Amino acid sequence: MSEQEYTRWMTESLCPTCLTRVPAERVVEGQDVWLVKVCPEHGETRTIMWRGTPDLPGWQRPKIPSRPPVCYTEPNRGCPYDCGLCTNHGQHTCSALLEITQRCNMNCPVCFADSGSVAVPDSTLDAIGKWLASVRHACGDHIVIQLSGGEPTVREDLPDIIRLARSYGFGFVQINTNGLRLAEDPAYAWQLREAGLSSVFLQFDGTRDAIYQKLRGRDMMAEKIRAIDHCLQNHLGVVLVPTLVPGINQQDIGAILRFGMDRAPGIRGVHFQPISYFGRFPEIPDNAQRLTLPEIIRAIEKQTDGLMKIEDFAPPGCEHSHCSFHGNFVLLENGAVTAMTSKNSSCCSKPVVASEGAGKSTQFLTRQWAAPEDVTSAAPLPPSKKTCCEPSQSPSLDEFLQRVKTHTFAVSGMAFQDVWNVDLERTRNCCIHVVTPEGKLVPFCLYNLTSAGGQTLHRGHGHANLAS
């Protein structure tokens, strides 16, 4: 292996026990890739990061790092201890996540934010206004604002918070929610829409109550359907967000996609998130309890009977290539599905400037995840004039263009990192950032990361002060 090849497979990670930064290697064994690291004090850790095809070596979308235009911290002890973002960060923000409450109306066995375990007072509107000002100063107002928690809908003043975000000029505001409150009351979805909400990221782990029983401790399917109905009636875009856990719901991937497509274009897509082990989780995971991105891509092809294929998915243009996959599909009137994404089209060897990818991604998400253009107001299609006996299988150009606008269905998956599989090259190029109570920005995975013993790296710290 050449030195260049070898370096490509080297990165840095953290010791799961003491959170000290350690060198790490991505080790290829057959079609699998492992992240292997050694802490001088606590020994070796081997964690699966990629199983099978599409192969990791070919899953690349090289980027030239872009320093964020405004950085709130300077590097001192190095990544990941100086986040804010610091001047060594390599990507602009495309989504800023604000935790507006730590309260939750559920108590799931698995929760990245470990919500509801400690009583913390909600942030004031004044404090949230300062965060929004800080985000706008650092990133501009074109990015996605995600209101999260905890469960954001437990706050009675959520409509005021949405209005506040819009008053700072942010054009796209989204909530991350379990949907319980939305299911209770159709007028609530209307209130949020009126306040300026664009989109709902809905926790949606499967299409059967047995899945919710295992993952959330209760039946939820009826509530999920009611929540979706209320959102769609009120012109809110809905994205289904399943947390995928091996042995619990990975066999439901196809059913989730079909459920979403049956309710498109109101449901805008599905965003799969394989489970990461930070915050609250039952026990330290072994590798059998991990699901990697290529496994999800293969399951999509298999469980949709080839309606969506492996080659219809591509690495991301915004975040690090190893962090996600995406594929966009046009759902045609005759039930056919046209893939719009091709791995080959986006996988050229020429690196692109990272911030350009962030800009394109933000433009796409703010359009795709919001409610579609009103289908009934679209111009009627001219009658088709067939000139041969066999009807064409393809849509007319006019139908295709109209369906692209209204019926594009986005399928994506994002692998969040925990202390066992964290790769600092990935976090350094992250574009999804949590706003800290001080108004700084920290990559999502690093903000939520906890050691094997439950110690946080950034959450609850004014500054990370570990491994000093």
Count of positions on this chain that bind other proteins (CB under 8 A): 30
**Contact (CB, 8 A) for 425 and 320:** yes
Query: Residue 373: helix, strand or coil by DSSP?
Result: coil
DSSP string, 250-306: GGGHHHHHHHHHHTTTTEEEEEEEE----SB-SS---GGG---HHHHHHHHHHHTTT
For the chain, what is the largest distance between any 2 Cα atoms, rounded to a whole number of angstroms?
A: 77
Q: Which part of the chain contacts other proteins (CB under 8 A), choosing from 33-41, 104-112, 156-164, 340-348?
A: 340-348
CB neighbours (10 Å) of residue 426? 21
Q: How far apart are the first and last CA of the chain?
A: 35
Closer to other proteins by Cβ: residue 219 or 398: 398
**Rounded Cα–Cα distance for residues 124 and 35 (Å):** 41
**Among candidate residues 24, 19, 23, 20, the one with its CA nearest the CA of residue 35:** 24
Binding residue for other proteins, selected from 314, 370, 422, 431, defined by CB under 8 A: 314
Of the candidates 88, 191, 338, 455, which one interacts with other proteins according to CB under 8 A? 338
Closest CA relative to residue 135, chosen from 102, 162, 161, 169: 169
Amino acid at 393: Q
Locate 250 and state its tokens: 């990975």
Site for other proteins in 364-403 (CB under 8 A): 364, 385-388, 392, 394-401
Minimum distance, C-beta of residue 267 to other proteins, in the bound complex (Å)? 19
| 17 makes contact with other proteins (CB under 8 A) | no
> Would you count residue 269 as binding other proteins (CB under 8 A)?
no
Least distance between other proteins and beta carbon 408 (Å)? 8
Bridge pairing between strands 352-353 and 408-414: unpaired
User: In the complex, what is the shortest distance from the CB of residue 43 to other proteins, in angstroms, rounded to a whole number?
Assistant: 43
Q: Residue 87 interacts with other proteins (CB under 8 A)?
A: no
Residue 368 contacts by C-beta under 8 Å, 6 or more apart in sequence? 268, 269, 328, 408, 410
Residue bearing tokens 């935790």: 99
Give the per-residue contact string, 421-440, with other proteins (x = CB under 8 A; - = no): --------------------
Place of tokens 């050449």: 2
Q: Which is nearer to other proteins, 288 or 397 (CB)?
A: 397
Of the candidate spans 133-141, 288-296, 337-345, 436-444, the one that interacts with other proteins by CB under 8 A turns out to be 337-345
For other proteins, the closer of residues 28 and 340 by Cβ is 340
Least distance (Å) between residue 356 CB and other proteins:
12
Is 404 a residue that touches other proteins (CB under 8 A)? yes
| CA gap 84, 202 in Å, rounded | 28
Task: Please identify, using beta-carbon distances, which residue of 352 and 452 lies nearer to other proteins.
Answer: 352
Q: Does 361 bind other proteins (CB under 8 A)?
A: yes
Instruction: Give the residue with the Cβ less far from other proteins, 44 or 390.
Output: 390
The answer to whether the CB of 268 falls within 8 A of the CB of 406 is: no
| Contact with other proteins (CB under 8 A) among 104, 227, 330, 419 | 330
Q: Is 350 in the site for other proteins (CB under 8 A)?
A: no
Name which of 6 and 400 has its Cβ closer to other proteins.
Answer: 400
Single-letter amino acid, residue 205: D
Should residue 167 be labelled a site residue for other proteins when binding is judged by CB under 8 A? no
Would you count residue 107 as binding other proteins (CB under 8 A)? no
Site residues, other proteins (CB under 8 A): 312, 314, 317, 328, 330, 338-342, 345-346, 360-361, 363-364, 385-388, 392, 394-401, 404
